[in-house]
A and B are shown apart, each in its own frame.
Chain A
């Protein structure tokens, strides 16, 4: 009777117990971290911090132990992820690998790939990047033109990727490439693991509007990729990418990105808010609480072995809208007298928030996915 089933999900006791432990660890590890740096959320990263988390067993938490994982529940992972995001921990170095590259390899990778790569991810040693977008292929991802041509023992890959987050730090890229006839569109797409140290790989950082360089151009010039680095089957790249994007869209990172400026607003307003301030706090809180329930419901579905791809698109679109409303509404209502910490955090989030509804599939693309589920297209 509802289009999307979101059932309330109670976190099991072991997950609740873990929360205190994570909070205590982060309280100490991030003690001196200023608000504006915390606002970077998963855009900021340090390998040292990733290693610390790895040592705690908080990367690759749900993966089998034989691949360096910890066989913990999805619920436990959910709690760790929430706490990392709310604290503004510098998780960028392992984020993509933990969230999507690792799960992708677990599902479609070869035994050798799992054995050689997953333990390094879980230890916080390996950084992955996503080579999907190209200069001519954004939303229309199936039009990618980077080519992989068969040679003795593997492929030679040539082309260009763009907007590749963390490529300058990454050890590996999972690249979506064309291995057949472009006329076939979806059927000739394949995913390859590209060693970023290979000859012919050149990375050129692109400064974003804040002046920071998180994303890059990646030039691939006749890069040799051995047979063993094929993920899944040749020609299955499109459906595998679909599964990967479902992992990418389903987590709590899609509504918590502006948490820092909301907390700054609460601090500035203090315990004597005006009516207008109370109304904003109330509206945001109700939306955030609801999104958290939806995000938990998705965690419940994942725990039950389902693939809630469309529900994830719903949460991501609602979540990124909230993340974009928060800095705008906070600015509109901020009192005349604030302070530098507040101002810097606000301006940083105003500047970065446009990207929230672009990365990982744009708002319009997500709404198209939802419309398809409704039977409109």
Chain B
């Protein structure tokens, strides 16, 4: 990670981790991550914006920061991409919470984490979180490449949102299962993450929407283009 990006990540954490308010977000300039330096912004790329938007998902932030970032570079294409990043963040947060909880909670005289049935489920969760994160990160990278080379990142964004939806479907169930009844309470933090994931799974395209879109496009391109298209990036 470049030095500047590391600073951005640090600032983002500092501002968003504990009860963030809009004044502090503004003061830190997080909404201006994409705005050029000469116009008073951070002068960052979409990959930089990914860090901020993903963190909004991770910390279940209730402020319209992703929307504010998008407003500096309006596009009809990018809302699902932003949501994919937030979902990747929320999945990682739910994973971290699940790991922490199962290491602390004891049954049958030992931590839940020591049971292989729990370990194997959380390994699947970690894989899904990693996949959703990769897909979102690669879509943001594709958005940067569009600014350099032209074209659009439609296919990458479709894949990223669909992959995030798939990951959420698999992982939210695991998160709740390993938490037992505690995860089903209003008070415990997990619900803030999983309820967002369930909402986001329908917003800006559910699995049917994007799978159909990708499937129609792939079929129209024909068998002989499938691999050349997939490996063109």
Contacts and interface: CB of A to CB of B under 8 A. Distances in A.
B127 A289 contact: no
A377 to B, nearest CB: 6
B136 to A, nearest CB: 10
B172 interface: no
A72 interface: no
Interface stretch (A137-145, A191-199, A269-277): A269-277
Nearest to A263: B223
Contacts, number: 173
Contacts of A279: 208, 211-212, 215
B122 A286 contact: no
B210 A367 contact: no
Interface stretch (A1-9, A146-154, A179-187): A1-9
Contacts of B47: 8
Contacts of A291: 131
Interface stretch (A89-97, A205-213, A292-300): A292-300
A7 B140 CA distance: 11
B134 A283 contact: no
A25 B124 CA distance: 39
A337 interface: no
Which one of B129, B159, B222 has the highest number of Cβ atoms from chain A below 10 Å of its Cβ? B159
B123 interface: yes
B119 A376 contact: yes
A317 B138 contact: no
Contact of B219 (A278, A297, A371, A375): A278
B131 A282 contact: no
A338 to B, nearest CB: 14
Interface string B105-147: 0000000011010111011101101110111011011000100
Interface in B195-233: 207-208, 210-216, 218-220, 222-223, 226-227, 230-231, 233
B215 A271 contact: no
Interface residues of A, number: 54
Given A82-B231, A374-B99, A375-B103, A290 B113 contact: no
B204 to A, nearest CB: 15
B78 interface: no
A51 B133 CA distance: 41
Given A6-B130, A266-B226, A371-B123, A283 B102 contact: no
A189 interface: no
Nearest to A376: B113
Given A287-B166, A292-B230, A371-B119, A1 B58 contact: yes
Contact of B129 (A2, A259, A277, A371): A2
Contacts of B130: 2-4, 6, 294, 311, 314
Contacts of A269: 219
Contacts of B137: 6-8, 293
A375 B99 contact: yes
Contact of A273 (B58, B99, B210, B219): B219
A376 B102 contact: yes
A24 B90 CA distance: 44
27 contacts: A1-B55, A2-B129, A3-B96, A3-B129, A6-B130, A82-B231, A86-B231, A266-B222, A266-B223, A273-B215, A273-B219, A278-B212, A279-B208, A281-B211, A283-B211, A286-B163, A287-B163, A290-B134, A290-B138, A290-B159, A311-B130, A364-B120, A370-B126, A374-B99, A374-B126, A375-B113, A376-B102
